[in-house]
Amino acid sequence: MVMEIEFPRKLQLAYHAVCRPLCKRLDLPQTAFDILMFFGNNPKYRTARDVVEIRNIKANLVSVNVERLVREGYLERHSVAGDRRKMELLCTEKAKPVILEGRAVQQDFREKLLDGMEEETQRIFQRALKDMEHNIEEILKGAQ
């Protein structure tokens, strides 16, 4: 059980460690970088609420970092027709090279995670993840 508890924590620590040099060079906090990458990698999500719900980042942290990303020109706010309180957040041209660099860092991280793992083991691992995702969806359906 200890490994099961430690693994996600260590995974997050390792991811932040590989992102740190890019964040430092861009003068962006990790949370701001994570929010920008969330929108860059998931264009179907467009609101701060999406970040809070999907990424499970506290609303006040999202608010502060979204404000910074807007102020620095990485995100733009757009009104949502029919809901004057809701704002969509869209990545700007300035954000595109950052997102591309971030994706390269993420790809390198994935490769390092799988380093030394045989292809067959990787296929089994991917299949296990798909099976677990299906089971999670079934659990969530049953909990409603």
pLDDT in tens, 88-102: 999 999 999 999 999
Q: How far apart are CA 99 and CA 76, in angstroms?
A: 15
pLDDT at 6: 86
Residue 29 neighbours by CB under 8 Å, 6+ apart: 23, 65, 68
Mean pLDDT by 10 residues, the chain (144 residues): 75 95 96 97 94 94 97 93 83 97 97 95 94 93 86
Which of 55, 58, 46 has its CA nearest to residue 87? 46
Two structure tokens written together for 40: 């860059």
User: CA-to-CA distance for 59 and 36, rounded, in angstroms?
Assistant: 15
Quick one: pLDDT at residue 18?
Answer: 96
Domains with residue ranges and CATH for the chain: 2-117 (1.10.10.10)
Model-level pTM? 0.85
Contact assessment for residue 14 and residue 109, using Cβ atoms and an 8 Å cutoff: yes
